[in-house]
Structure 1
């Protein structure tokens, strides 16, 4: 199995392995309380029997001689911030003197770093020698244990570890508790094949993330370029505003200048915010909340609704598909998205979401792209007020400057950026499919429901060299 294997090939593998498992059904009548029936060739071992469990510690932060050396020193934040599942660099490093002072351990490459407090069970494989702080219970696998099998097995064990974790300030699992946890262990060749399937899917997910990140960078760069030079790299002038330069034939206007004449074309949810009792899991009108307004994207993953009665009471706070909504706070302030056509009725659900309906001289999507540019964000930041959770008010939003190209250029800009938006959406859907596939494969392979023993799976060097 290669990194270039397609989603269809992964599904075909999954189906064929399930058929194989049905033909060679598990003969043992014994059933483990956590794992159920396992293949007869598999053993169940305590972690202490198959890996050395190694903790970490922190050198004194008062001694500068302990810090800034050549030894990577991981904290749980380093693990949770990873985009992949390997780690070679850390935010902080320590010296040999720091390593000795704290009696911390230097982990060999291809250990499984596992967080053991607060976020329990987050894992990564180190590719270089590394130390960690005390927020870890790291696993150094024995000779007959494949590192990547152990990595995926510990991810699957995270929920169980969380159930046994305890602590007065935050949950934590002890070294003794980790050592005593049972995990199923297939023969080494099967460990490697299981790891190969899951590792290959992970590589595909990482490639997709890289492509999506590059598309997003291209998208954001084009917005800045278009708003400065236009489509045809036009002659520019200094606008005399925080917009900086813009094409000389474009107008510079404020949000107030481009609003529609219709009632409530520029309004927020102030004085009409829905209380927690009025926001429900189902209802007649979709309530738009602050955290759902992303940069160019509306987050519909956890929809909340208002009743028809409430909608009719504050219809003047209604929003409609295709309109622009803007966030008054959080990072970045003044970010905007388009209301999708998923529902017929929408309602401003909180005071910090703003509805903007432009007149016929401004395209909605062009306005959204303007709002999601650094040219507008740096204006908005200057207006932030309040301690703690600072916000921009409605009046200040109305004073923000945006460029106003001819409609034909607006539409051309929107067309180019929308095509990239679609590619980003497609890449995200592909990632989501791979993630669902991985969850299914992980459950089937690690439970022994789907077997890899008779499969022609080429084990990559990254896996073959371990165990």
Structure 2
């Protein structure tokens, strides 16, 4: 199952484990290099071959039966060349693994800081080393000093491949991340935009998912010039100058706040949080100067995380290029 999507890999575990019945476990024999074979089986050419022999109508559930898989005939290099190729990819995989471990550490550090800062265990001080005033309690509506807007009901007939405005849906929202071009591929044209009287989104706006699983995940709009609208399941929070957007987004993405928001989700089939209930979510926040320090602090951490993600993506693209060249 899912082998047409590349769901095949090499196990590096040194202990017994169980796998789903949808998977087959293969053991390499005859001195073949396991790293070479594992990478060979995941190449684009092999995935294309799997698609030719797969059964099933739904792409995500297409299955390659083992009776078909075992009879695939391919040419392999000598054991010595396999060893060299396998060692090369093992080193590259190890490099990727080490960078992914660095990423995990950064994300764990961020999580720890979020826990300490938003519980006020760790506080920032002013330029003279003095404590800032006590944090103020209230609701999103009372503390944000800005607007919360609903998105628009966007039907299938509104969607265009060449429209002028990008459509932001809940699936485009990753926790704590900026929006990027790769996140979004659906558009709406000018005529439908005018009819919908859509809410435009600006730099510094916070987009928050109203759908369950999990409701409340949010992201911030960077300083870009794309013109876009949101679907009805995305709320737009537009803080004014009395509230730091990056502080608010970071607070909303804490585990505690996501849990608090999830308690307001309602509905039978289409579960989500209403705008009115979203406005009732309780917050505790410092004055703007401390907000800005906290916001800048998490912005810098997120920039480090993004750079690390880009480094990993670069290594994976590099590996993909080598796979393409070596297994043609």
**TM bracket (short chain):** 0.7 to 0.9
* 1:313 shift after superposition: 3.5
Quote the residue 1:268 is aligned against. 150
Distance 2:78 2:280 in 1: 68
Quote the residue 2:221 is aligned against. 339
Distance 1:120 1:344 in 2: 34
Matched, 1:404 2:285: yes
Question: What secondary structure is seen at the aligned counterpart in 2 of 1:318?
Answer: coil
Question: Which stretch of the first structure deviates more once superposed, 397-406 or 224-233?
Answer: 224-233
Quote the residue 1:158 is aligned against. 47
Matched, 1:147 2:27: no
Matched, 1:216 2:102: no
Quote the residue 2:62 is aligned against. 171
Equivalent pairs counted in the alignment come to 315
Contact 1:383–1:396 (8 Å) recurs in 2: yes
C-alpha change, 1:309 and 1:206, in structure 2 (3 Å) is same
Matched, 1:352 2:233: yes
C-alpha change, 1:203 and 1:268, in structure 2 (3 Å) is same
Structure 2 counterparts to residues 111-260 of structure 1, below 5 A = 122-128=8-14, 132=19, 134-156=21-43, 157-167=46-56, 170-229=61-120, 231-232=122-123, 249-260=134-145
* 1:311 shift after superposition: 2.8
Distance 2:263 2:7 in 1: 41
* RMSD of aligned alpha carbons: 2.5
* 1:299 shift after superposition: 5.4
Contact 1:137–1:178 (8 Å) recurs in 2: no
Contact 2:163–2:190 (8 Å) recurs in 1: yes
Distance 2:142 2:287 in 1: 15
Structure 2 counterparts to residues 431-446 of structure 1, below 5 A = 431-446=312-327
Quote the residue 1:373 is aligned against. 254
Question: Which stretch of the first structure deviates more once superposed, 432-441 or 159-168?
Answer: 159-168
C-alpha change, 1:393 and 1:116, in structure 2 (3 Å) is closer
Distance 2:139 2:316 in 1: 43
TM-score, normalised to structure 2, is 0.87
* 1:341 shift after superposition: 3.2
Quote the residue 1:329 is aligned against. 211
Matched, 1:390 2:279: no
Distance 1:219 1:133 in 2: 34
Question: What secondary structure is seen at the aligned counterpart in 1 of 2:23?
Answer: coil
Contact 2:217–2:253 (8 Å) recurs in 1: yes
Structure of higher CA gyration radius: 1
More strand by proportion, 1 or 2? 1
Question: What secondary structure is seen at the aligned counterpart in 2 of 1:414?
Answer: helix
Contact 2:214–2:258 (8 Å) recurs in 1: yes
C-alpha change, 1:254 and 1:127, in structure 2 (3 Å) is closer
Question: Which stretch of the first structure deviates more once superposed, 319-328 or 339-348?
Answer: 339-348
Unaligned runs of 5+ in 1: 1-114, 235-246, 448-467
C-alpha change, 1:377 and 1:438, in structure 2 (3 Å) is same
* 1:353 shift after superposition: 0.4
Q: Deviations over 1:400-454 (max 9, x none)?
A: 111221111111111111111000000111111111111110111123xxxxxxx
Unaligned runs of 5+ in 2: 126-131
Contact 1:120–1:162 (8 Å) recurs in 2: no
Question: What secondary structure is seen at the aligned counterpart in 1 of 2:248?
Answer: helix
Contact 1:117–1:135 (8 Å) recurs in 2: no
* 1:316 shift after superposition: 5.0
Distance 2:214 2:199 in 1: 24
Structure 2 counterparts to residues 57-136 of structure 1, below 5 A = 122-128=8-14, 132=19, 134-136=21-23
TM-score, normalised to structure 1, is 0.62
C-alpha change, 1:232 and 1:116, in structure 2 (3 Å) is closer
* 1:139 shift after superposition: 2.9
Q: Deviations over 1:100-119 (max 9, x none)?
A: xxxxxxxxxxxxxxx68786
Question: What secondary structure is seen at the aligned counterpart in 2 of 1:155?
Answer: coil
More helix by proportion, 1 or 2? 2
Question: Which stretch of the first structure deviates more once superposed, 172-181 or 184-193?
Answer: 172-181
Contact 2:204–2:238 (8 Å) recurs in 1: no
